[in-house]
Structure 1
Amino acid sequence: MPGAKGGGVRALGLVAAALTVTGAALLGGGALLSDPTPPLPSPDSARAQPSSAAARLVLPRSEPRRLDVPRIGVHVPLSRLGLNADGTVQVPPVDRPEQAGWYARGYTPGERGAAVILGHVDGGGRKGVFYELGRLRPGDKISVTRADGSVAAFAVRSVERVAKRRFPAQRVYGRLNHAGLRLVTCGGGFDRRSGHYTDNIIVYARLIEPPA
């Protein structure tokens, strides 16, 4: 897997197919919840909304420090995630489901490309940071505070539920002509035999001009 510096990060689109296992790796401890039924996106949310944001609207590279998603009450610091020894993408520790992490070998939020933030739906018998992710709707705002002090403001364009076996690695990690953001967690039904949720919930967002 190429590193984040130089041309390596630009090659993410070429290796996205190898990251499909990320969908399965995002674990949820739903078996420990009395009612593991996180909200699901509405059918209308899966249809991408038109965006007036210009492709040229981008920010220089700067690592993210904090994620704020007001609609679902998420206000958390971000950790750095890399790759496991087997080449799969790391996820936050399942026993700390309140944590969210940024895939540090990819793009930073605000750069031209798809920045990816991962979080659990639940774990350790507790709701996770992205338990309510399915409630987001097109137009909802997301902000990411960056190491350089700037805030990258995003608007949700679509929210989809996909089967893990069909995880859209290219759409999540692939090349873009604009600054995009993806929030990813588990969702759908919970398979008690495997101990995993059957689906992923994925939010697709695009950089916008923040309020003056």
Structure 2
Amino acid sequence: MELKICGATRLDEIEILNHCQVSYVGLWSGIENHPRSLPDARLCQLAAACRGPKPVVVCVRPSWPAPGEMMQRCGVKWVQLHGFTSPTDVARLRQQGLSIIKTLHVNDAGECPELRWLTAYDDAGVDIYLIDRFVDKRQIGSTGQALPVRVVENMVEQLAGRRLWLAGGIHAASIGSLAQMAGIEALDIDSAARKDGYIGTPLYGLVKSLRAGEEADV
């Protein structure tokens, strides 16, 4: 099971991630009034410092011609579309040579508005679908709360044959059991990796618990 840690803003956070078993780091871009949204120059600086994890630009409403041009300057391949991005815009980003992670907004009843366009997203070139808990449009992610397991399992079944990640309320006490969840290749974590607001020592506990969960499944 791979890990993505989201919302890095400092070089010392990147340095910690470089020395952990983390596959991806999320760098927020163009998110109005978001405390972790980065200016382009800062994002490029952090991306260049990544020696282990692959940098992922996370945006809600991609503006044009950005983020493609900015990402090319920074040498970043992956973009995560965290809002309600249309299949048409996904295709435009794909044409810019980017790899696409599309967030699917799922509520506790298992309802997901993007499922009606799933075939269109496939055709547009989505590489990975990220299952995340949805509350309302005022907070479309980063809720710190997990979806019911039955909802996640149902989504995995509906999305069979696709690359899937999972986000929402993942912490040290739950991550070990998620290591055994079929169909999920990576876990996307933000708040549980932080101490005093910054990525730090809690990350080590997350990695340790995840690997223990994987070993228990052997």
Q: Give the TM-score band, short-chain normalised.
A: under 0.3
TM-score, normalisation: structure 2: 0.26
**Higher normalized strand content (fraction of residues):** 1
In terms of fraction of residues, the more helix-rich structure is 2
